[in-house]
Structure 1
Amino acid sequence: MTSSTRRLLWALPPVALLAVFFLYPLLLVVRQSVQPDGGGTSFEPYTDVFASGAFRDALWTTVWLAPAATVGCLVLGFFLALVIAFVPFRGAKAVAKFIDVFLSFPSFLITLALLFIYGTVGMANGVWTDVTGAAEGPFRFLTTPWGVLLAEITYFTPFVIRPLLAAFSHLDTAQLEAASSLGARAPRIIRQVILPEALPALAAGGSLVLVLCLNEFGIVLFTGAKGVTTLPTLVYSKAILESDYPGACVVAVVNVLISVGLYGLYRVVSRRAGA
């Protein structure tokens, strides 16, 4: 048996598992998207979905919400990672370990926590009504797109912090000391020394957050945001509420294509950045 044949035999089991558990279900979704309820094979489901206002609204909401949440996570994550890595304070290691644990939390748990604080009958509104005597509190943004944005930034920021902390742990502190001894202030050190080293980690964390936000379902569902429908929630609405399975598969195919396209873009950018 030649070495090439041996390698082929070793590759067959994982390829078969990939085909059975991933490619075949995806193929079923694609096939269902071109099989209207009337029977036969047709692109009519695509025409109907693309012509609907619900799809255009969901596409627009997904397109602006995911990048906005990603930018928020990058800014907040970079700032928090700087504090944890370079500002000495008691408990920094415990905070870093908690971030690892936070990554395992389900997204709806964070959403529920925000509802307890900023919900209609949450703590913030309760304090407001107790202090002012008003009948209702002013905090009602969780049922708006801004509430979804806040929840996504809160939940996904640790996905940016984790690779940044790993990158900062390999940063040569001698560079920081040399820059400081030459009179460079903190903003200049961050801009010229730390940021270039952090770019690959930012690209990796940001791309992961972007793809996760594009496909996030639990946060949008649990906030109960009125008028906020993303592509994943539209898939749920068409499949479960409307029993429009071809339409749901069309939206799912579009969502997958966007995710794969963004991943391909990330690979190109990371390759040029040397990540």
Structure 2
Amino acid sequence: MTAVLDRPASHPAPVRRSRRSLRRTALVLGPLLILALSLGYPLIWAVSSSFTDRSGAYVGTDTWRAALGDDAVRNAFVTTLKVAALSTAGCVVVGTFLAFVLAFVPFRGSSLVVRIIESVVSLPSFLIPLALGVLFGPVGVIASATGHRFSFMSSLLGVVLAEVAFYTPFVVRPLLAAFASFPAAHIDVASSLGAGPLRIAVRVIAPQVWPSLAAAAALTFLLTLNEFGIVLFTGAKDVMTLPMLIYTKSMVSSDFATAAVLATVQLVLSVSAYLCYRTIVRRFGATT
């Protein structure tokens, strides 16, 4: 009887399971609460501020009508899409070529080239236009040597070139992963049947890797759509994108209501691009 009384009480299995469930729930809800406070609140504030005027008074959709009717806003919207589309196209062309060469044309030092390309994404984006500006800027080396006849960094071309230089690794890496999983026997069979390199690339390789390429292109478009540092540091005054206009309206003009409208438009564009990217990845199982 004494031995029975001295035995330590044990919790029933349902109680232990309930406590474990509560701990797991707390571990999930904690980060979600922090995320909601750090991201959700600013987003809600930006959207709600878009229905106010510069003094913070509620004005309904008046600020929206004024902002969307402004030619500068419409031009910035078009410029944002143009820069993102051109940069994405450039990244796809350059990235596909680099990935194809690195995967199917082996040479000494190819692994080092891959590491160098991957290391570009670890750099701050503004370093790219600064480095290119030393060569192609208004007072750069090339411009000085050619009597300022070859200077384009302060233009749309300069912005696109800088973004292509920075975001091309986001195309190269997924394609290298896709090429690595591609059966080499398919290439050997096509070659034995008389297909040339171009025909093999178009008819054999491309159909197998295009989902990864499409996902990489969608991700690159999303990133370039929101790029701010590269556009700012190229000094291209005529290239006014939505992020640049948001900065100008909020920090220079102190027009936070109009900036909130533009930020909401930018948010819709970004979410749409992200949903497109996730749809490609989920539907085709693309490698990114």
Aligned to 1:143: 154
Which residue, out of 39, 46, 50, partners 1:22?
Answer: 39
Aligned residue runs from structure 1 range 133-172, under 5 A: 136-172=147-183
Aligned to 2:81: 63
1:244 equivalent in alignment to 2:255: yes
Q: Residue 244 of structure 1: CA displacement? A: 0.4
Aligned residue runs from structure 1 range 6-155, under 5 A: 8-41=25-58, 42-128=60-146, 136-155=147-166
Q: Residue 61 of structure 1: CA displacement? A: 0.3
1:219 equivalent in alignment to 2:248: no
Q: Residue 211 of structure 1: CA displacement? A: 0.8
Q: Is the 8 A contact 2:50 2:258 kept in 1?
A: yes
Aligned to 1:186: 197
Distance 1:197 1:243, change over 3 A: same
Q: Is the 8 A contact 2:219 2:277 kept in 1?
A: no
Q: Residue 4 of structure 1: CA displacement? A: 6.8
TM-score by length of 2: 0.87
Distance in 1 (CA, whole Å) between partners of 2:151 and 2:254 is: 32
Unaligned runs of 5+ in 1: 129-135
Q: Residue 223 of structure 1: CA displacement? A: 1.0
Q: Is the 8 A contact 2:76 2:240 kept in 1?
A: yes
User: Which structure is larger by alpha-carbon Rg, 1 or 2?
Assistant: 2
Which residue, out of 235, 240, 255, partners 1:229?
Answer: 240
Aligned to 1:132: none
Q: Residue 82 of structure 1: CA displacement? A: 0.5
1:206 equivalent in alignment to 2:214: no
Distance in 1 (CA, whole Å) between partners of 2:217 and 2:190 is: 28
**Structure 1, 224-233 or 193-202: larger mean CA deviation:** 193-202
Residue 126 of structure 1 aligns to a residue whose secondary structure is helix
TM-score by length of 1: 0.91
Q: Residue 2 of structure 1: CA displacement? A: 8.3
Q: Residue 255 of structure 1: CA displacement? A: 0.3
Note the aligned Cα RMSD (angstroms).
1.8
Percent identity over the alignment? 45
Residue 257 of structure 2 aligns to a residue whose secondary structure is helix
Residue 278 of structure 2 aligns to a residue whose secondary structure is helix
Runs (4+) of structure 1 exceeding 4 A deviation are 2-7
Query: What one-letter code is carried by the residue in structure 2 that aligns with 1:17?
Result: I
